[in-house]
Chains A and B, each alone.
Chain A
Amino acid sequence: MSVLDAFAKVCPDLRPGEVADRVDGLVPGVVAAPASLNEASAVMRTAAEHGLSVVPSGTGTKLDHGRPVERCDVLVTTRNLDRIIRHSPGDLTLHVEAGLTFEALRAAEAGGWGQHLALAPPVNGTIGGAIATDVAGPGRLLHGSARDLLIGITVVRADGTVTRSGGKVVKNVAGYDLGKLYTGSLGTLGLIVDATFRMHPAARVVRVAATVKDPGRAVQAVLHSQVVPRALEIDRPAGSDETTVVVEAETETPDETSARLRELLGGSPAPEPDWWNRLPEGELLAEIRSLPAQLPNVMDAAKGLPLRGSAGAGRLYTAPNDLEALREALKPAGARVVLVRAGQAVRESVDVWGPMPTLPLMRRVKDQFDPDHRLSPGRFAEGV
């Protein structure tokens, strides 16, 4: 039986890879789209039996994150795993398959749910992709990222074993919280199949925007105020000295909250600006992670570059020309710089992550989960 037949036996939606399926220039031998947990497990098991590398994928919007993969025998897409399994409004929980797109989720929420999953990645992708890449959107300030909202997860391990952690209730400390481990794992630990999240009630939101001279002061003023901001974003276009600060707050008393924000920032109530939750344009996209009070130093070090993102949470996107130069310039501010996205040649040649003191521990965990290093090989740091 050929390898393709072996996969076809366990997963009906299956075909040989084509040029259009390329991941980092590699045409996968097989593209499998399992439609159930059983199929997903069987696909992973079949790949293991044949010693094949596997690259998990959703809609493929973030396949250019991290370093280029070194092998891609089987591209597993979760696009057929796109169901909303259960929304329990009274429990404020949501159980979904990993291939559900944010676009589809937002459409469902808009159908009168009265609550939402407080994750809004800048690019429409899948739930599984948001977990694997730890993207969150402006709401990170108040609600954190996937790791803070996940309460249960099902993952198929490299050998096809189905494994769950967490559960369906928000409060639960039984066993290790593996949902957090998979957050940011970039497809190197297993195939995420479904996930359960804590939801938040939809709230009235006020938004105030101001163009300020001293963004550091403005951000500190809002952070230490009694307004509880949901998002505190800044935008400084490339080559500009002008910075816009936008605050969003959930409130039952919009007029009062808006007045307070205007008092803190100046500015005025505003619609969502066109740059809201959009990544800066550029060949290289990098994320700067720093302490919020370091903002003035970060802005100085990144002079001339576009800066955008959650100043309140200390996560800003920029588009540098030279990653290492930016890293060097930001060292005194104690900031980390992680390359998010770039062309393949750049990702092959630069240090994507910067210093990683926990790498030895990550390698050891990786060796347990994927001893043959067949999952997204090369994607993450050396040896993971």
Chain B
Amino acid sequence: MADTLRALAERCTRVLGPESVITDPVRLRTYECDGLTSHRASPGLVVLPETAEQIAAIVRACAEAGIPYVARGSGTGLSGGALPRTDGVLIVTARMRRILDIDVANQRATVEPGVINLDVTRAARPHGYYFAPDPSSQQICSVGGNVAENSGGAHCLKYGFTAHHILACEIVTPDGEIVELSRDDPGFDLLGVFVGSEGTLGITTKITVRLTRLPEAVQTLLAAFDTIEQGGEAVSAIIAAGVVPAAIEMMDALSIEAAEAAVACGYPDGAGAVLVVELDGPEATVAHQFAEVGRLCRDAGAFEIRVAADDTERALIWKGRKSAFAAMGRISPAYIVQDGVIPRTALGEVLGRIDALSRESGVRVANVFHAGDGNLHPLVLFDDAVPGAQERAEKVSGAILDLCIEHGGSITGEHGVGVDKARYMPRMFSDEDLDTMQMVRCGFDPAGLCNPGKVFPTPRLCGEVPGVRKGPHPLVAEGKADLF
């Protein structure tokens, strides 16, 4: 361990106590990756603070020593946003798990960042409320992580993303100050830009979330089609009819096969695609819309429609969809998950192009996606025991992202950029766009110590006024950075 890090470990031990500071290399390795296991780095030091003041003290110590730090919640992220630094500190919020307040009258809850997403809903449900963002990892992911990643989920088609459900965040700034960002603040919406900044603008220590009324009625149907194009037509027809379902999910034949092998979800035999549509809201409205959705699916060519009669049957319908990623293990030794987004109307064309890419390259691609908002999760399958297979899969994977960008979409709909997709950012944004985003970062974190190396392919050296050079940049002069 470097001397600076050792000195920092001692300082952290004084602040937190020895049981909250990890320096043992074997234990450090537990934290070497998040949900994106292809990127690994053993952190230099792990700390487990319990209060905002402790986090502020650690951040100040890091700032003084020039040591980078990364915040981590439950470590379920899929883009390597919580990938540690070997030369830095990993600040784990797992011990900050108190639900501080459930304020039903004002439809909000205040929680610590380590609180598990689903636990907010569990606490609110007796009052008739829930926390709407529902990433598929909601049983283990933390609300702090949801804030960092602006997490989505199957139901964000109707209810929006985490950003729409965060009313205030107390944060520790990279200066080590504790500040509250609120939706009610006049002026620029700093809260809005903080949510989804992937841990690069500070660490959230207290979060006020909006609670949403539990719907009076929920109806779920599964529609089976011969082809994925028919499923796509049904989706377009539903949206064109002015219906905004809570969720519209689609799976293709390959992903149905995998899910069937893994969880025996019993989806209709011979389906080329299945669509899961869920409607919720006032009972009469749901009943009205449900009849319409069923009719539109049949018109688009659905050969079987199943309606969930109760929560058990609903869970069964969702089981196949929710198991899809994990189920890929049944049909492929390894796979890459993509998270590209396309305009919904380009669905048919893009799926056709993905199919062609797959046939040309011989790389199998399973398609599971949030069809309602055009968020594709193509699963690019490969055998990691075969030399060159991973490279071929990565090539197909990159080509799929290019397709998304070509159609006016995005490289990531909900997983975040992290380390995984930073290299694709220049395909979507110009240098000026990326530079402008990093101006915000320079405002918050001029020293660039807060989760460095994420989101942006090339860090901006802060303090530079465009076109004006006043001698070498201090970081260059110190030999810590190069300009190129």
Interface residues of A (CB under 8 A from B): 88-93, 114-115, 134, 144, 147-148, 155, 157, 159, 161-165, 167-186, 189, 200-203, 220, 223-224, 226-228, 251-253, 256-257, 289, 291-293, 314, 336, 338, 353-354, 356-362, 364-369, 371, 380-381, 384
Contacts and interface: CB of A to CB of B under 8 A. Distances in A.
B338 interface: no
Contacts of A180: 163, 189, 191-193
Contacts of A224: 104, 128, 213
Contact of A181 (B105, B163, B193, B285): B193
Nearest to B421: A174
A380 B196 contact: no
B367 interface: no
A148 B156 CA distance: 13
B196 to A, nearest CB: 5
Given A172-B412, A358-B181, A361-B173, 16 more contacts: A91-B344, A92-B344, A157-B436, A159-B467, A170-B373, A176-B437, A178-B436, A184-B186, A201-B243, A223-B107, A251-B284, A289-B184, A291-B105, A293-B105, A336-B186, A361-B179
Nearest to A255: B284
- Of the listed residues A157, A226, A292, A361, the one surrounded by the most CB atoms of chain B closer than 10 A to its CB is A361
Contacts of B188: 181-185, 189, 362, 365
B185 A164 contact: no
B208 to A, nearest CB: 11
Contact of A253 (B180, B284, B430): B284
Interface stretch (B111-119, B223-231, B260-268, B438-446): B438-446
A168 B434 contact: no
B41 to A, nearest CB: 23
A186 B187 CA distance: 7
A169 B410 contact: yes
Contacts of B341: 169, 171-172
27 contacts: A114-B242, A134-B189, A169-B341, A169-B408, A170-B373, A170-B374, A171-B414, A173-B149, A175-B434, A176-B437, A176-B440, A177-B192, A177-B193, A252-B285, A253-B282, A253-B284, A353-B186, A356-B187, A358-B179, A359-B187, A361-B190, A361-B443, A362-B187, A362-B188, A364-B444, A369-B436, A380-B187
- Of the listed residues B186, B289, B370, the one surrounded by the most CB atoms of chain A closer than 10 A to its CB is B186
Contacts of B184: 289, 314, 336
A365 B181 CA distance: 14
A41 to B, nearest CB: 10
B187 A184 contact: yes
A353 B188 CA distance: 12
- Of the listed residues A93, A172, A256, A367, the one surrounded by the most CB atoms of chain B closer than 10 A to its CB is A172
Contacts of A93: 343
A319 to B, nearest CB: 18
Nearest to A89: B240
A368 B440 contact: yes
A327 to B, nearest CB: 13
Given A114-B242, A169-B410, A175 B285 contact: no
Contacts of B106: 291-293
Contacts of B415: 173
A167 B425 contact: no
B193 A175 contact: no
B150 A173 contact: yes
A163 B412 CA distance: 20
Interface in B80-137: 103-107, 128
Closest 9 CB pairs of A and B: A180-B192, A201-B242, A293-B105, A365-B443, A368-B439, A172-B410, A253-B284, A364-B443, A90-B345
A175 B443 contact: no
Contact of A371 (B284, B425, B446, B465): B465
Interface string B225-269: 000000000001001101110000000000000000000000000
- Of the listed residues A159, A182, A224, the one surrounded by the most CB atoms of chain B closer than 10 A to its CB is A224
B409 interface: yes
Interface of B: 103-107, 128, 149-150, 152, 156, 160-161, 163-164, 173, 177, 179-181, 184-193, 195-197, 213, 215-216, 236, 239-240, 242-244, 281-285, 288-289, 341-345, 370, 373-375, 408-417, 421, 425, 428-430, 432-437, 439-444, 446, 455, 462, 465-467
A201 to B, nearest CB: 3
A203 B242 contact: yes
A104 B402 CA distance: 36
Contact of B186 (A155, A171, A293, A338): A338
B415 to A, nearest CB: 8
Contacts of B411: 174
A360 B175 CA distance: 11
Contact of A159 (B343, B428, B466): B466
A180 B289 CA distance: 33
Contact of B413 (A90, A173, A293, A338): A173
Nearest to B344: A91
- Of the listed residues B177, B180, B189, the one surrounded by the most CB atoms of chain A closer than 10 A to its CB is B189
B242 A164 contact: no
B421 A90 contact: no
Nearest to B106: A291
A257 B105 CA distance: 22
A15 B432 CA distance: 30
A356 B186 contact: yes
Contact of A148 (B128, B164, B429, B462): B164
Contact of B187 (A220, A358, A360): A358
A38 to B, nearest CB: 14
- Of the listed residues B180, B188, B282, the one surrounded by the most CB atoms of chain A closer than 10 A to its CB is B188
A362 B152 contact: no
Contacts of B281: 228
Contacts of B187: 184-186, 353, 356, 358-359, 362, 380-381, 384
Contacts of A159: 466-467
A167 B410 contact: yes
A115 B242 CA distance: 8
A200 to B, nearest CB: 8
Nearest to A359: B187
B466 A175 contact: no
Contact of A91 (B345, B428, B429): B345
Given A168-B409, A368-B439, A175 B345 contact: no
A357 B128 contact: no
A368 B466 CA distance: 10
A40 to B, nearest CB: 14
Given A223-B107, A292-B105, A356-B186, A171 B436 contact: no
B131 to A, nearest CB: 16
A218 B344 CA distance: 40
A184 B455 contact: no
- Of the listed residues B417, B429, B443, B455, the one surrounded by the most CB atoms of chain A closer than 10 A to its CB is B443
Nearest to B162: A173
B417 A184 contact: no
Contact of B425 (A148, A175, A291, A380): A175
A353 B288 CA distance: 46
Contacts of A173: 149-150, 152, 161, 196, 410, 412-417
A168 B193 contact: no
Nearest to B182: A358
A142 B281 CA distance: 13
Nearest to B149: A173
A252 B292 CA distance: 11
B374 A358 contact: no
B173 A165 contact: no
A171 B410 contact: yes
Contacts of A292: 105-107
